[in-house]
């Protein structure tokens, strides 16, 4: 029995974290994490550990993590983007950790999302 052992081509790319000043119009980006701040008095922990007037910062994965957004303008700390459906979204680089998507991967996903919209 003969088997085909030709190497399979795997086209895997990695989204790279990026600083706001390195973003350019036309880049495809996504949010890796988002930070929210809550007043410490909402925390049900020991009040001696955290002063009442101090904010508690939490990082979480946003529900749209991985979704490609196309950069339309940058005015730091804000990054103005659009979704494939045409809706606009603003990222605040003080709150969001952004990643630049590979150009080819971003375009491919963008086209597929346009078809499914």
Residue 5: CB atoms within 10 Å: 5
Burial code (b: 16+ CB inside 10 Å, e: under 16) for 65-99 equals eebbbbbeebeeeebebebbeeeeeebebeebebb
Q: What is the mean pLDDT of residues 89-106?
A: 94
In the predicted model, is pLDDT for residue 80 greater than 90?
A: yes
pTM, two decimals, is 0.79
Tens digit of each residue's pLDDT (9 = 90 or more) over 34-63: 999 988 777 666 566 667 778 888 999 999
In the predicted model, is pLDDT for residue 109 greater than 80?
A: yes
Q: Are 113 and 70 in contact (CB under 8 A)?
A: no
β 88-92/96-100 pair status: unpaired
Strands (E), 50-111: 55-60, 69-75, 78-82, 88-92, 96-100
Residue 9 has what pLDDT?
Answer: 61
């Amino acid at each position: 029995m003969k088997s085909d052992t030709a190497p399979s081509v795997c086209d895997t790319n990695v989204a790279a974290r990026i600083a706001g000043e390195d973003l350019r119009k036309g880049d495809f980006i996504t949010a890796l994490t988002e930070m929210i701040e809550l007043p410490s008095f909402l925390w049900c922990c020991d009040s001696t550990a955290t002063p009442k007037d101090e904010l508690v910062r939490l990082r979480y994965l946003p529900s749209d993590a991985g979704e490609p957004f196309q950069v339309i303008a940058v005015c730091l700390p804000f990054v103005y983007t659009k979704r494939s459906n045409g809706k606009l979204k603003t990222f605040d680089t003080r709150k969001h950790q952004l990643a630049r998507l590979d150009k080819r991967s971003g375009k491919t996903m963008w086209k597929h999302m346009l078809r499914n919209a």
